[in-house]
């Protein structure tokens, strides 16, 4: 059950003959990070760079703790707290710095 193939809004992945997902159309990736949120085994890393290809190794990503981090922040996966439950958005204007007036 390879969720990335199913959920990618721009259909970046193909299913290979062995059934494994393959990044077949990286140029169609819109860098929305949603495949990472759905991946239950943290097997994906979406580079933040929209227009250039970033060379990374799994080891590097694991060592800096970035792989799987977005799913962890969203709070999906066993034993985690969903971001929606601790969402601070309704309260952020309480710490808003004074805003300037718009001049022409």
Dihedral sign (CA 71, 72, 74, 76): positive
Closest to other proteins by CB, 33 or 43 = 33
Q: What CA–CA distance (Å, rounded) separates 73 from 33?
A: 12
Contact call for residue 84 and other proteins (CB under 8 A): yes
At 82 the three-state DSSP class reads: coil
For 40-75, what is the HEC assignment? Answer: CCCCCCCCCCCCCCCCCCHHHHHHCCCCCHHHHHHC
Contact pick of 1, 17, 41, 48 for other proteins (by CB under 8 A): 48
**Per-residue contact flags (x/-) with other proteins for residues 4 to 43, judged by CB under 8 A:** -xxxxxxx---x---------x--x-xxxxx--xx-----
Residues that bind other proteins (CB under 8 A): 5-11, 15, 25, 28, 30-34, 37-38, 47-52, 66, 69-70, 73-74, 76, 82-92, 95-104
């Amino acid at each position: 059950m390879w969720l990335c193939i199913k959920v990618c809004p721009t259909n970046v992945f193909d299913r290979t003959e062995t059934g494994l997902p393959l990044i077949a159309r990286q140029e169609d990736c819109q860098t929305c990070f949603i495949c990472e949120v759905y991946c239950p085994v943290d097997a994906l890393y979406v580079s933040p760079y929209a227009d250039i290809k970033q060379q990374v190794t799994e080891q590097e990503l694991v060592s800096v703790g970035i792989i799987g981090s977005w799913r962890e922040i969203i709070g999906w996966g066993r034993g985690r707290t969903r971001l929606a439950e601790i969402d601070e958005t309704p309260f952020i204007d309480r710490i808003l710095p004074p805003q300037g007036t718009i001049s022409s």
